[in-house]
């Protein structure tokens, strides 16, 4: 773990909450963590999305309070920026599906 677990009860108040809610519905076993910073001036709007099969799969950076744009990066160095929650969910899910073990479990 690189951050604190970000549960369904945790909210930013922004559109990233909808992204995470949809991922929890679509991706069994998804793990979402929020970066824990050591200094108040550091940016903690960074989230790590993994599953029980592999960590460090996807990173999402947001503006404060979970606001877009969302900068989404995967373990292979691919990057994409979007302001659309549906596009963010689709991309993150696609990247998580690239794991062969994961593909067998997704609905």
Mean pLDDT across the chain:
87
Predicted model pTM: 0.85
pLDDT at 101: 52
Listed by start position, the domains of the chain span 3-75+86-97
Please answer whether residues 20 and 33 qualify as being in contact, where contact means their C-beta atoms are separated by less than 8 angstroms: no
What does the pLDDT look like over 4-42, one tens digit per residue?
889 999 999 999 999 999 999 999 889 999 998 777 767
Cα of 27 vs its chain's centroid, Å: 11
pLDDT tier for residue 2 given thresholds of 50, 70 and 90: low
């Amino acid at each position: 773990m690189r951050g604190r677990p970000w549960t369904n009860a945790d909210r930013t108040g922004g559109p990233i909450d909808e992204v995470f809610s949809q991922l929890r519905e679509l991706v069994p076993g998804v793990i979402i963590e929020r970066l824990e910073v050591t200094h108040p001036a550091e940016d903690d709007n960074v989230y790590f999305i993994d599953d029980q099969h592999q960590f460090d799969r996807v990173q999402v950076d947001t503006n404060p309070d979970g606001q877009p744009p969302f900068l989404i990066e995967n373990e292979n160095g691919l990057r994409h920026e979007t302001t659309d929650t549906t596009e963010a969910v689709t991309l993150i899910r696609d990247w998580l599906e690239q794991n062969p073990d994961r593909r067998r479990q997704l609905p």
